[in-house]
Chains A and B, each alone.
Chain A
């Protein structure tokens, strides 16, 4: 899925200045509830269910 691919790319980027920072910006924009329209509820549900694991993955989380 596109958003999970974007997250994965961001996390695995070896040179953060090139891609990861930009992807982080993209993902933040996608997650900003302020600019969500009718898709807000469904999208946030989706994200909690399908994307959080990708983001946190095997890494530590506080």
Chain B
């Protein structure tokens, strides 16, 4: 019985030590090419407990460590040193797993993000590096089809798409070995970026007014119109992250700008992507508040004589092409 109690006390002590700050801070090896394998090992070892993760994150945050690592990365790429490039992959993959917002802020800055993504290209020692940076550059060019003059906003949009790409494509997906919660700071980072983007865009009245003018101008080329619709679809998507008041203001803004008449134009365009994105925008509006569309519809027609009716159940079978589709309409009773 005595022995059992001793063991219990010991593990309690161990747990207490992990939780307290009495353990010494983690010191990383100096940031040099010859020490990259030691650095990779030190970082991998720092992921074992929450307390060690905290200390490791602090060490990495200090003394410009990330910038120094990226300097080494550029050197290694020039030298085509595959072994060290792979160490850098391991290092940065593990820095991501630290799940620390402060580190994300450093890594996702405009002057560092491409080098970080570069490190993540060297996942495999045997296969060639995956062309993530190449893809990200193409991504940026598409988004710029929309004329955004606000540099802060533009930078934030680029950053958000790049980080989304990192989360969706580059990093390990949730699985048995990587828990769902492991990268939740990354999701939060993206979430808050989107909220900020939606807010910044709504504050820039001129931008939105110009955008809608371009959208509805008959002289606007179809491809440009398509890009604007795609942008608006993303815009609605971002707005899903807003609080209820924010969402309310958002849909009011869109309605005032004339999204519904605009959709009348874009829903009938031949281009499939335009049509599809228009449907998505309409869906977002109707799901939020069908009354917006109903009231708009009523505005479009002057009221005519009322139809008196009783309860009607209408089953309509509509045949189109080779399929049949059943639509059931539930009608209420109208009494005057």
Contact = CB atoms under 8 A, between A and B. Distances in A.
A56 B24 CA distance: 77
B297 interface: yes
B309 A2 contact: no
Contacts of A62: 315-317
Tell me the dominant secondary structure on chain A's binding face.
helix
A14 B307 contact: no
Contacts of A41: 306, 334
B276 A18 contact: yes
Nearest to B260: A2
B301 to A, nearest CB: 6
B279 interface: yes
Nearest to A26: B286
Contacts of A12: 320
Measured as residues with beta carbon below 8 angstroms from the partner, the interface class of chain B is 35 or more
A55 B316 contact: yes
Interface string A1-33: 111011011011110101110111111111111
Contacts of A33: 330-332
B293 A2 contact: yes
A50 B304 CA distance: 11
Interface string A37-52: 1011111111011100
A49 B323 contact: no
B291 interface: yes
Contacts of A2: 260-261, 263-264, 267, 293, 296-297, 300
Contact of A26 (B261, B282, B291): B282
B290 A29 contact: yes
A14 B318 contact: no
Interface string B285-312: 0110011011111101101101101000
